[in-house]
C-alpha cells in the first residue's frame, strides 16, 4: 500500500515537473559583452519583449540581422500552433492528474497535499539560497 502511494506521489510530481518545463519559454541567446549595448542589443531586447527568441547558441555563431529576421518570421509562423498544442497538452495533463487523484483516498489526498507543499517549500528555500550565492559571487567579482 505504501509502495503504491509513493508511486502515485512520484507520478504526480513528475507530471507537475513536465508541465512546468513544457510551458517555459525557449532560452534567449545572449549577445556578448558591450555589443549588447549597441543597436543590435536594443533590437534584441525589443525582440525578446515581443516573444521572438533565437534558439540556444544561435547568437554565438554570428547570425546576421537578415537571418535573425527570417528566424523570427519562421517562429512567428508556428507560434499559434505551438501555443494551441501546449494548451492542449496542459489540459490533458490536468485531466490525467484529476483522474489519478480520484484514485486516492481522502487521507492520501491530504498527505499528498502536505508532501507537495513541503517539497515546494524546500525548493523555494534552495532557490533562495542559490540566488543569494549567485549574488555574493557577483559582488566578489565586482570588487576584484
Which residues does 57 contact at the CB level (< 8 Å), separation at least 6?
Answer: 29
pTM equals 0.48
| Distance, CA of 137 to CA of 131 (rounded, Å) | 10
Q: What is the pLDDT along the chain (144 residues), one digit of tens a residue?
A: 556 655 655 555 555 555 544 444 443 334 344 444 445 555 554 444 446 789 999 999 999 999 999 999 999 999 999 999 999 999 999 999 999 999 999 999 999 999 999 999 999 999 999 998 888 666 555 554
User: Where along the chain do its domains lie?
Assistant: 2-121
- Nearest 10 degrees: Cα torsion 97, 103, 106, 109: -30
Amino acid at each position: 500500500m505504501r509502495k503504491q502511494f509513493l508511486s502515485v506521489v512520484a507520478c504526480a510530481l513528475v507530471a507537475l515537473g513536465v508541465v512546468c518545463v513544457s510551458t517555459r519559454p525557449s532560452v534567449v541567446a545572449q549577445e556578448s559583452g558591450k555589443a549588447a549595448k549597441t543597436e543590435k542589443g536594443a533590437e534584441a531586447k525589443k525582440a525578446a519583449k515581443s516573444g521572438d527568441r533565437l534558439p540556444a547558441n544561435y547568437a554565438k555563431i554570428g547570425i546576421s540581422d537578415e537571418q535573425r529576421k527570417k528566424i523570427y518570421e519562421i517562429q512567428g509562423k508556428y507560434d499559434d500552433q505551438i501555443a494551441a498544442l501546449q494548451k492542449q497538452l496542459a489540459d490533458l495533463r490536468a485531466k490525467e492528474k484529476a483522474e489519478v487523484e480520484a484514485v486516492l483516498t481522502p487521507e492520501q489526498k491530504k498527505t499528498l497535499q502536505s508532501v507537495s507543499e513541503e517539497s515546494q517549500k524546500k525548493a523555494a528555500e534552495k532557490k533562495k539560497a542559490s540566488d543569494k550565492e549567485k549574488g555574493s559571487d557577483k559582488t566578489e567579482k565586482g570588487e576584484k
